[in-house]
């Protein structure tokens, strides 16, 4: 039976949208660094009977009855996450990455407190202090950034000076558009010097950490680590908060100490910030964590970086300026306006027509508007899931450059045919283990 037969019989309009998306994903190449494909097992869990169940609370301490199997699956997810990331505690209930960050803020901060995070223009995330978010109405965000955008070197001296001057309660490390690695130990030491919580947002690179391709901030003195469970971790859309410290369940809110962070986080997530967890999502997270613990996933994580570096080499050889000069992780940020005279918005649309999906992105010092910036951001998590290697990555990067250089209909048409051929030769696998 087709997995969508019931939808086909009941709602042709939704069925058409689903099958259209299936075709798009099968015949094109997904290059957005925050997107990926999940295994059939993860997809089945997302559509399981767990979607029927309300489970406010935590395993062993729920507000509704009938929790035998929800407790079982959430405990599995918690224990697997703790093992995978060497954490003392894991809260697997946050519904998304922004929700996880906000819950972590609420666990430790009081209104008016200061957070030191990466400047959005230098690669930070909206929830790290962008003025358009509501968090900036509650907390005072100050920023650090790159000393040199051509190498990506972070100005750690300035970060320390800012921390001493502003006395943040949280020093936040993490990014959504930074192609290099951070010195986790140095940032943890800065947090320690000003008596702040060291918090890492590894939403983009969690899978690379789980696979041993990048270092784990929790191994270098960080107290809290938030992450989405999709992107490089290749699980369902959702998030979790990992932490170090002692887990307890007091009747009243505990004192705000580092040791009590796990309990503070649990109380912040529920009942402080959200109600019933999505148990079908948590079941899918448990499966993804198991998949991420396999040798095959470790190979995948390392291949993601190899593929990204191969694409970066082609762009550099082709005369395109890359922000930070290359990549150490899964993503590439290219200044296409400065190098090729095409805006990021135009480049995104043009490459989409050729079957390659990526996103426009502002770059440090960008003089163009955010909705039509100078840069594009692309990466390799999804294409690597399909089994593509460095040679394939170089070919795809070459096709991208041809499209961005010539921009005519014939070039776009030929590129789309070549991309379709590559995509169909590397179908999305149903199982990754």
The catalytic site residues sit at: 54, 56, 201, 228, 231, 237
Retrieve residue 254's tokens. 């505990």
Strands, E assignment, 81-139: 89-91, 114-118
Residues 239/228, Cβ–Cβ less than 8 Å: yes
Strands, E assignment, 119-249: 140-144, 146-148, 153-154, 170-174, 197-201, 224-228, 239-243
Residues 202/196, Cβ–Cβ less than 8 Å: no
User: Which helix (H) or strand (E) covers residue 373, if one does?
Assistant: none
| CA–CA separation, 30 and 283 (whole Å) | 26
Closest by CA to 432, choosing from 73, 30, 76, 42, is 42
Rounded to 5 degrees, what are φ and ψ at 355?
85, 15
As to burial, measured by CB atoms within 10 angstroms (0-12 exposed, 13-18 middle, 19+ buried), residue 227 is buried
CA distances from 197 to 31, 202, 208, 261 (A): 34, 16, 24, 10
Which residue has tokens 């921390």? 163
Q: Say if strands 170-174 and 114-118 run parallel, antiparallel, or are unpaired.
A: parallel
Retrieve residue 423's tokens. 């995509």
Contact partners, residue 365, CB within 8 Å, separation at least 6: 121, 149
**Residue 45 C-alpha from the chain's centroid:** 21
């Amino acid at each position: 039976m087709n997995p969508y037969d019931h939808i086909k019989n009941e709602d042709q309009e939704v069925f058409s949208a689903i099958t259209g998306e299936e075709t798009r994903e099968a015949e094109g190449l997904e290059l957005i660094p925050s997107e990926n494909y999940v295994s059939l097992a993860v997809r089945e869990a997302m559509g399981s009977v767990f979607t029927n169940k309300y489970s406010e609370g935590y395993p062993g301490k729920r507000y509704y009855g009938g929790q035998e199997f929800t407790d079982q699956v959430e405990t599995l997810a918690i224990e697997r996450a703790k093992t995978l990331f060497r954490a003392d505690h894991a809260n697997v209930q946050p519904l998304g990455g922004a929700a996880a960050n906000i819950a972590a803020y609420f666990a430790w901060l009081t209104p008016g407190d200061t957070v030191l995070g990466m400047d959005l223009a230098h690669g930070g995330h909206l929830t790290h202090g962008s003025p358009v978010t509501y968090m900036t109405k509650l907390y005072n965000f100050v920023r650090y950034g790159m000393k040199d955008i051509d190498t990506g070197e972070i100005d750690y001296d300035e970060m320390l000076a800012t921390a001493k001057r502003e006395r943040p309660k949280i020093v936040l490390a993490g990014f959504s558009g930074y192609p290099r690695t951070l010195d986790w130990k140095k940032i943890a030491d800065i947090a320690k010097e000003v008596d702040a919580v060291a918090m890492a947002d590894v939403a983009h690179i969690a899978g690379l950490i789980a696979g041993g391709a990048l270092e784990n901030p929790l191994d270098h003195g960080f107290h809290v680590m938030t992450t989405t469970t999709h992107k490089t971790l290749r699980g369902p859309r959702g998030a979790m908060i990992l932490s170090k410290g002692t887990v307890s369940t007091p009747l009243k809110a505990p004192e705000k100490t580092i040791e009590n962070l796990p309990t503070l986080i649990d109380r912040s997530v529920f009942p402080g910030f959200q109600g019933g967890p999505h148990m079908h999502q948590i079941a899918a997270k448990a499966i993804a964590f198991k998949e991420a613990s396999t040798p095959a996933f470790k190979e995948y994580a390392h291949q993601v970086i190899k593929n990204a570096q191969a694409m970066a080499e082609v762009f550099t050889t082709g005369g395109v300026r890359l922000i930070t000069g290359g990549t150490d992780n899964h993503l590439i940020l290219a200044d296409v306006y400065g190098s090729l005279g095409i805006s990021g918005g135009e480049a995104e649309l043009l490459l989409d027509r050729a079957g390659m999906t990526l996103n426009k992105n502002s770059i440090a010092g960008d003089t163009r508007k955010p909705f039509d910036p100078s840069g594009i951001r692309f990466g390799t998590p999804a294409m690597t899931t399909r089994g593509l290697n460095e040679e394939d990555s170089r070919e795809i990067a070459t096709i991208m450059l041809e499209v961005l250089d010539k921009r005519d209909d014939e070039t776009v048409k030929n590129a789309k045919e070549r991309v379709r051929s590559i995509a169909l030769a590397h179908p999305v696998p149903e199982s990754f283990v």
